[in-house]
Structure 1
């Protein structure tokens, strides 16, 4: 009896959390200077550090942590822009526990699907010169990432600086994308390589 009441209590709390989550994130995004379109939904906990500019289109969906997707449970989604950086996300984009660390720019087109636990990072994060790296992050290289319309990126992928993924392409799960991928193809692997056109 007591166990059932406790379970019911936590189910009610969870339902309230899910229903209030979109309003919480709309307020948080607004406070952090993020522009967003209609029907934005965030399920689960995410982190936002916006020192640049983030613009999100309509019908955006992000699941994070233990919210929905079992592939990336316990992984928190993150938006991180360094000063002057830009993240631009088109309409009808869905992602699960995606982590974005952007020094320059990230552009995601419309109708893009990004699988669980994907990392999008347009910077080396640290200088290649070990002597400089000991004392500072000055001179760290970066280059924009562009993901065109209708791309599907499988779970557990890493997309690195300077990459463009062409429209309608599919990146296989677990891939590391180090070079640009043309439109209309399938590219899995580490490093990701085109295996066929679609």
Structure 2
């Protein structure tokens, strides 16, 4: 067992000063983050840790449900793997759903639902991953010209206790776990 006395935490503060900086900024941003989530119609939950502000692109007639103890790292300084952009949560169309369980963590990356993306409990998504349930545009060139928004979609499921490594791309119709 490690020494988790107060002196351990003081020593860690001096050994890793960027963590102190991240913690101060995170606490200062809580009111802004709470307002941002409220304006998007996403209720604030217990134990959330946000490092930087995620991008919330929510269709008014869609649902984003996030569980307790969420951790979203959206800044370069928040993780040594350096996310290349903030976390993006996007519901692209009316009726789209993103449902994420408890104890979820993500560094950078995007989750884009046109239909439905369900992520279970205790899931970790590595830096710069993209999860999407749509092709965004038809693959056929003629269809892209005639019906540019008529793309194939299929739900995505990531079950409990999954760890997705960094820079992964998870496409429509996939189930992991």
> Contact 1:101–1:122 (CA<8 Å) still a contact in 2?
yes
How does 1:1-198 map onto structure 2 within 5 Å? 16-51=24-59, 52-82=62-92, 83-166=94-177
Q: TM-score, normalised by structure 2?
A: 0.80
Deviation at 1:14, TM superposition (A): 6.9
Deviation at 1:21, TM superposition (A): 2.0
Deviation at 1:136, TM superposition (A): 3.9
Partner in structure 2 of residue 4 of structure 1? none
**Structure with higher RCO (Cα < 8 A, 6+ apart):** 2
CA 1:133–1:45: 2 relative to 1, 3 Å: same
Deviation at 1:138, TM superposition (A): 3.2
**5+ unaligned residues in a row in structure 1: which ranges?**
1-11, 167-198
* In structure 2, C-alpha distance between the alignment counterparts of 1:88 and 1:61, rounded to whole Å: 15
Q: For the aligned residues, what is the CA RMSD?
A: 1.9
Deviation at 1:77, TM superposition (A): 1.2
The structure whose residues are more often helix, as a share, is: 2
* In structure 2, C-alpha distance between the alignment counterparts of 1:46 and 1:70, rounded to whole Å: 18
CA 1:78–1:22: 2 relative to 1, 3 Å: same
> Contact 2:22–2:77 (CA<8 Å) still a contact in 1?
no
**5+ unaligned residues in a row in structure 2: which ranges?**
1-19
Give 4+ residue runs of structure 1 displaced > 4 Å after superposition.
12-16
